[in-house]
Amino acid sequence: MSKQQRSFYQSVSDYFDRAAPHTGLHPGLLEQIKVCNSVIQVHFPVKIGKEVKVIEAYRVQHSHHRSPTKGGIRFSNHVNQEEVMALATLMTFKCAIVDVPFGGAKGGVKINPWEYTAGQLEKITRRYTTELIQRNFIGPAIDVPAPDYGTGSREMAWIYDTYRTFKGEELNAAACVTGKPVNQNGVRGRTEATGRGVYYGIREACSNADDMKKLGLEPGIEGKTMVVQGLGNVGSYTSIISQDEGGVKIIGVSEVEGAIYDPKGIDIHKLLQFRKETGSILNYPGAESYSKESRKSVMEFECDILVPAALENQITLDNAHRVKAKIIAEAANGPITSAAEKVLLDAGKLILPDLFLNAGGVTVSYFEWLKNLSHIRFGRMDKRFNQRTYDSILDVVEQNTGKDINERDRQFIARGADEIDLVRSGLEETMIHAYNEIRDIWKRKKKVDDLRTAAFISAINKISSDYMALGIFP
């Protein structure tokens, strides 16, 4: 493939190569940080009705500098070894950026999940998990999968159940996978986590008055217009939270069946309900509809913030020069090719890179893993204690001021944190801290012109310090 048309893996490789010289590290160490450590490809048979179907699947562990390795499992027709390698590579750098102490990994099963029944998907998921167990490619201290494109909490519950069937004696078996349903050792807030993290990341970027001024935008997220590609897990939660908590106006959306645009604004709750009832976003009242064939024109809709939240390689050299959005928020992994990125940066766009922006998922997965290892719900030990302490402080305030605090304010101020409050608070802190860490590199380092390069520099430096401290075995 030419420098012009880059595959997803080549793009990730280009991004790494662009950042590497800024770190001043030894080429051998950089090479070790860049390569994928372990790749497995498996083929296994599954009975589908009266047929036997042979399924192709992968798991890639990109880096073992920290254990376990971590990353989602994707069910998609487009899965191939290079794609999974690119996704696993991004996971390593993503974890480093948000200080999640894991190496990167990713899994892929080459099927279109929407063509199978739940029973058939369960068989495929359980057999795939068995293949991973047999190769020692899954376990709380080894490699911990999670949801990605085409999978969700249902599949994670099947993975957990298959694992504990084989490893019933393992006390920490529940930590073999994250993104599980809450009643199956999941953590509150994982389902929304990636979208919520995307929202916190965009909000933080928009809060910087200087950066917004350069784009010709007012500071603050409120009132900004947003267009979203893909209304799955990540796209729908990004839209809901941006609209409900950030006051963002969603004006364009695309899904597999086509795209819609309405500059007056699209209420995301009503749109999701409409799609549930009609099976499509098309013909949503008041919006202009675009057919399946022209759904990619969503990338060219007029807006402040464009959120690709479906798949990789959506902005290429073919359409990059037609992108009108000022901010491109990479909720999906790899939505922009490295060649297209240059066109966008030259046009003065702000790109919030995937390895930072969608790291909310793995951040909350980390919280779930910690919960599973500690065998206790967050907040269980201290909620009531804190509540009583805050109540006593309010009593003292009342006594000293002679003024009563009304019951509504008291309940709000004195409330002890539940699990969901702590998860959201931890996620918010993580995204704000990570953004400012990479923005600081972007602004401080001469010749670093974009946030992605800054993010890679930050991640490579953190990973290299592990290698340097640990040495190389033997």
**Residues tagged in the binding site annotation:** 70, 94, 194, 233, 365
Residue in 278, 237, 233 with CA at minimum distance from that of residue 258: 278
Residue in 221, 455, 284, 448 with CA at minimum distance from that of residue 354: 455
Contact call for residue 295 and ligand NAI (CB under 6 A): yes
CA distances from 12 to 137, 192, 226 (A): 24, 26, 26
Residue from the set 83, 143, 148, 341 that interacts with ligand NAI by CB under 6 A: 148
Nearer to ligand NAI, 20 or 357 (CB): 357
- In this structure, what DSSP letter does residue 354 have? H
Residue from the set 92, 225, 233, 372 that interacts with ligand NAI by CB under 6 A: 233
Contact call for residue 344 and ligand AKG (CB under 6 A): no
Residue from the set 23, 239, 254, 358 that interacts with ligand AKG by CB under 6 A: 358
Answer yes or no: are the C-beta atoms of 95 and 39 closer than 8 Å: no
3-class secondary-structure state, position 462: helix
- 68 contact, one of ligand NAI, ligand AKG, none, CB 5-8 Å limit per kind: none
Give exposure, 15-38, as e/b (b: 16+ Cβ within 10 Å).
bbebbbebbebeeebbebbbebbb
- 71 contact, one of ligand AKG, ligand NAI, none, CB 5-8 Å limit per kind: ligand AKG
Give exposure, 417-433, as e/b (b: 16+ Cβ within 10 Å).
bebebbbbebbbebbee
Contact call for residue 153 and ligand NAI (CB under 6 A): no
- With contacts defined by CB under 6 A, how many residues of the chain interact with ligand AKG? 13
- 106 as an active site residue: the answer is yes
Residue from the set 230, 252, 353, 379 that interacts with ligand NAI by CB under 6 A: 230
- 211 contact, one of ligand AKG, ligand NAI, none, CB 5-8 Å limit per kind: none
Cα dihedral sign for 119, 125, 128, 134? negative
- Residues 301-340 close enough to bind ligand NAI by CB under 6 A: 309-311, 331-333
CA distances from 87 to 32, 311, 355, 358 (A): 17, 11, 10, 12
Nearer to ligand NAI, 25 or 357 (CB): 357
Contact call for residue 149 and ligand NAI (CB under 6 A): yes
Contact call for residue 60 and ligand AKG (CB under 6 A): no
- Residues 69-108 close enough to bind ligand AKG by CB under 6 A: 70-72, 94
Among 3, 53, 106, 214, the active-site one is: 106
Contact call for residue 309 and ligand AKG (CB under 6 A): no
Q: Cβ atoms within 10 A of the Cβ of 246, count?
A: 19
Contact call for residue 186 and ligand AKG (CB under 6 A): no
- What mask of x and - would describe binding to ligand NAI in positions 47 to 86, judged by CB under 6 A? -------------------------x--------------
- Token digits of residue 319: 């359409």
Please count the CA atoms within 13 angstroms of the CA of 341 that sit on its side-chain side.
27
- Token digits of residue 167: 């490893």
Q: How many Å apart are CA 268 and CA 48, to the nearest integer?
A: 37
Contact call for residue 254 and ligand AKG (CB under 6 A): no
Give the contacts of 399 (CB within 8 A, at least 6 positions apart): none
Q: Which amino acid is at 38?
A: S
Phi, psi of 389 (to 5 degrees): -60, -45
Q: How far is the CB of 319 from ligand NAI (least distance, A)?
A: 13
- What mask of x and - would describe binding to ligand NAI in positions 355 to 374, judged by CB under 6 A? ---x--x-------------
Nearer to ligand AKG, 284 or 366 (CB): 366
- CA-angle at 143, arms to 468 and 312, nearest 5°: 90
Cα dihedral sign for 123, 126, 132, 134? negative
Contact call for residue 233 and ligand AKG (CB under 6 A): no
Contact call for residue 238 and ligand AKG (CB under 6 A): no
- 149 contact, one of ligand NAI, ligand AKG, none, CB 5-8 Å limit per kind: ligand NAI
3-class secondary-structure state, position 60: strand
Q: Cβ atoms within 10 A of the Cβ of 117, count?
A: 10
Only one of the segments 42-50, 250-258, 388-396, 440-448 lies at the binding site for ligand NAI (rule: CB under 6 A); that segment is 250-258
Contact call for residue 256 and ligand NAI (CB under 6 A): yes
Only one of the segments 223-231, 279-287, 319-327, 339-347 lies at the binding site for ligand NAI (rule: CB under 6 A); that segment is 223-231
Give the contacts of 444 (CB within 8 A, at least 6 positions apart): none
Give the binding site for ligand NAI (CB under 6 A): 72, 147-150, 194, 229-235, 254-256, 295, 309-311, 331-333, 358, 361
Residue numbers annotated as active site: 106
Give the binding site for ligand AKG (CB under 6 A): 70-72, 94, 146, 148, 178-179, 333, 358, 361-362, 365
